[in-house]
Chain A
């Protein structure tokens, strides 16, 4: 019976996809409500599952549906597995998605592609849930590719909008580079281990911890495999060097951005690493690479977010930066902290995006320079946005503070190579987080309005379908931290998310105990916690000074004084230009060479083959008047060949 309910979790969004895709033309708004109901059903199944895993006795549930491919060594089943990690993922994926679906009822009202939109949303969530529930890598890959496809469809949803189809393509192609890494990792694992079942891989990794088996600790094979998988994660989860697609993905409708950033896509990379944590910890080099890339991403993206004018772009770079924090946690071995930040991030980032969507919906503007003073007309949007900003900036006791501070402390205390440097970079990134978040809040909601008279006149608070999700997500951004209070305040009283995930992360922990030297110093932890609170307050103050009190003159002076840094941030470190010029340019060169070869060599060959074929057919035609005789003749020759072979090789 449990199996039935678990299958229902991904099946309901799939039903939403099919119903809206096939019958949307006749259902109109009802189709949207059906999709909301389906997603609500998934959430209604996931919540009790999570409560049971968190508070009750819980054994992982394995559901093997059917054998999919069996062929020699290949034996792949459609299998789902629900363990504690899955429960946590299911909880926020389904809940946040449900709220986004509900929000879309208001946001997309009257759009000509209303049902198309909901069918894609359903497919998106179905893919993500398959990804989360998969018990083996091929099925996980199906979900992995599925979210890639859906992001392409949804980012390019406004097909007539300039840049939207290109952004969709960019997301797809950049993700494809990452998928290449995933495939390579998967094939390498299969060729050596002969299995793609995650539990079996983890079991082999258990031997590897003692230096035995193909996945021996620190061996080159496990290092290469994990690096390949990490390449996949950099694509899906927008890390350096493959993060450039995510900011462009803002071309899609805002609920899609919320879905991509909070629930259904970018978290997949973190999830994969945590799911395979037993393998990743065996490769210290990979772990260092992950931590380094993650810290760099957090810093670079955070610095870009400081100067972006488009409210959605600010949030997009903010996500990239926050993902950097999550990967940083994974890189220093604090997988639980990484997943917990995914969890809290889904609430406050979801709330921020829905708030931004609400602003765009009401003001028809998304450039921060043209907003301002919206709080008086849109109080609910403003207050929820403010709460989410407080949370992401890391002010206690909000969820963002608890999860981010855990990452900062774990980085400091991990004993990983260069942990002090990583911690310092992360602290600066945290400061920038507070600045960019409150810069966006102040410029959009506070001060004098810079909207045109006409637009200001039409300003209104959004309908309940949009405000209710925002309020609920803001509530989540406040209280979600309670699930994992820091250990320094009374260990053991509350096992929290780290306690929940302990069975899943057990293999990784055992390896870490063998090789790393974690620091335990509650006093220092409390001191650093104080430091990060001070940092957050400082960030808010800076934002208040330059985005509100002394805006725009003070901000302009600052920009002039820090001109080189300002230019780097404003131009997004020239990542896109470099890609355009060298990577895309190089590809162009290769493509042109290929065209030349195609035109002059392959086509030439083809034409000569075609010429030869037509020559041959002309020759055959010359032999005969009625074709049937010729066919009969060839049949006879063929028969002679068959008999000839048999007699010759007897």
Chain B
């Protein structure tokens, strides 16, 4: 490469990754400010973090949405339509979490500077993972995200359950990372030393891969690594414990941002192999099985779950199962449906993030009583009417009732299955949604139809930032349902 061209490439790449760089800068500023500012000024930390995310969002808006994919840093990262949308969702979620965090952290033994800095690092890692376009970058970003969460999940040091959550995530995460790395090695070997996704796709197309099975096993191992990140059954086992024990805002980030990033990256992997004519049918089988297993395990597991955070953990497993449907259909193989699958997954990631964040947001404002058994939510409709209504709304949207985002998201996902003539997948998805009605409505029933327990008085008010975040979240449940073009253009 010509030196001049190289120079321009680097400058371009830096400009286009400015949303990520700004997050990193903000995180460092937060850390420095935490050390240098007087103790009383700690209240400024979430503002610094929020300004960092806002600046990053502005930079993202500046890069604009791209019809064609651009590769950066010599092919390590990619910017396309899907990454733009997932970046937007991740940044919106980060802003939401920064808004609900300060009140939740009050009176808890959590180092503030580290908390916000790690939240920013995690956000950056999510975006980087979503942009990954090369096997090594994929692994690095995967680990960067994992490491941020190892610390974040256990950041409430005096709470043994928080430490336990961090530790469990660490053990299982390391194992999953090993599988991911193993998969990378297999693919590297099978394609004759290719790491960039386009190069791998070209090698597959050109028939340069002599051992298709070798490649397929590599994909399977890679998939195991991803399955951990996006909590697909049977790689989900850690989720209920981790969601239950870890700090609620961190869990919200884990349940939403991590999945947005993981699904975006996995979609790029699927895109990479979708046009490969020699794709072994077993890869499709593995995706299919994981989709069905997640829908079944997630929904059945949630039915008898008495704890709200564990219930949402199972719910998130189930929703990952729904989102696997388009990926499985594309690998059927139906490469002609890539566009439809991309739109469906992108929209569902948004929908899932909105409704899950709304639910976790309400939970965080009801801490600590509301973070445990659902029984504690009894009579909330009278004790905290606004938040009760928001929680009910989140539940109805998670069920997938019109006119909420959950409904239109599910139409999009199941629509891909129907277009791809995988009616069975759509039917399983719909049946699984029917099962989900029972446990989501359990929460609504507790809120509106159960008498509050003896001595349960009024719950504390949320502060202004929390109220604003919740209202915005609830409005989004409708806005993106009625105006889908606001998101997908």
Binding site for B on A (CB under 8 A): 66-69, 71-72, 74, 78, 142, 606, 609-610, 613, 627-628, 630-632, 634-639, 641-643, 645-650
Contact = CB atoms under 8 A, between A and B. Distances in A.
Contacts of B237: 630-631, 634-635
Nearest to A630: B237
Contacts of A627: 168, 241
B224 A646 contact: no
Contacts of B374: none
Nearest to B239: A631
Interface in B152-179: 167-168, 171-172, 175-176, 179
A635 B241 contact: no
Nearest to B403: A142
Given A606-B304, A642-B289, 18 more contacts: A66-B483, A67-B485, A68-B482, A68-B484, A69-B484, A74-B415, A142-B403, A610-B304, A631-B168, A631-B238, A634-B234, A636-B175, A638-B227, A639-B224, A645-B282, A646-B220, A646-B283, A650-B213
B285 A649 contact: yes
Nearest to B419: A72
A635 B228 contact: yes
A67 B488 CA distance: 11
Contacts of B283: 646
Contacts of B415: 71-72, 74
A30 to B, nearest CB: 22
Nearest to B232: A638
A133 to B, nearest CB: 16
B281 interface: yes
Contacts of A69: 408, 411, 484
Contacts of A645: 220, 282, 285-286, 289
Given A642-B286, A646-B220, A632 B175 contact: yes
Nearest to A633: B237
A650 B280 CA distance: 5
Contacts of A613: 304
Q: Which of A69, A74, A631, A636 has the most CB of B within 10 A?
A: A631
A639 B304 contact: no
The main secondary structure of chain B at its interface with chain A is: helix
Q: Which 3 A-B pairs have the closest CB atoms?
A: A646-B282, A71-B415, A649-B282
Contact of B281 (A635, A642, A649): A649
A646 B286 contact: yes
A646 B227 contact: no
A66 B167 CA distance: 49
Given A632-B171, A635-B176, A643 B412 contact: no
The main secondary structure of chain A at its interface with chain B is: helix
Given A71-B412, A613-B304, A638-B227, A631 B172 contact: yes
B235 interface: yes
A630 B238 CA distance: 10
Interface string B229-250: 0000111011001000000000
Contacts of B128: none
Interface in B164-219: 167-168, 171-172, 175-176, 179, 212-213, 216-217, 219
Contacts of B282: 645-650
Contacts of A634: 234, 237
A642 B220 CA distance: 6
Contacts of B224: 635, 638-639, 642
B223 interface: yes
A635 B237 CA distance: 8
A647 to B, nearest CB: 7
B31 interface: no
Nearest to B412: A71
A606 B435 CA distance: 12
B221 interface: yes
B76 interface: no
B272 to A, nearest CB: 16
B418 interface: yes
A631 B169 CA distance: 10
A610 B300 CA distance: 10
A277 B238 CA distance: 60
Contacts of A631: 168, 171-172, 237-238
A643 B179 CA distance: 11
B51 interface: no
A501 to B, nearest CB: 32
B216 A639 contact: no
A610 B302 CA distance: 11
A643 B221 contact: yes
Contacts of B217: 643, 646-647
B479 interface: no
A606 B303 contact: yes
Interface in B235-286: 235, 237-238, 241, 280-283, 285-286
22 contacts: A67-B484, A71-B411, A72-B415, A142-B403, A606-B303, A613-B304, A634-B237, A635-B228, A637-B234, A638-B227, A638-B233, A639-B220, A642-B227, A642-B290, A643-B217, A645-B220, A645-B286, A645-B289, A646-B219, A646-B283, A647-B217, A649-B280
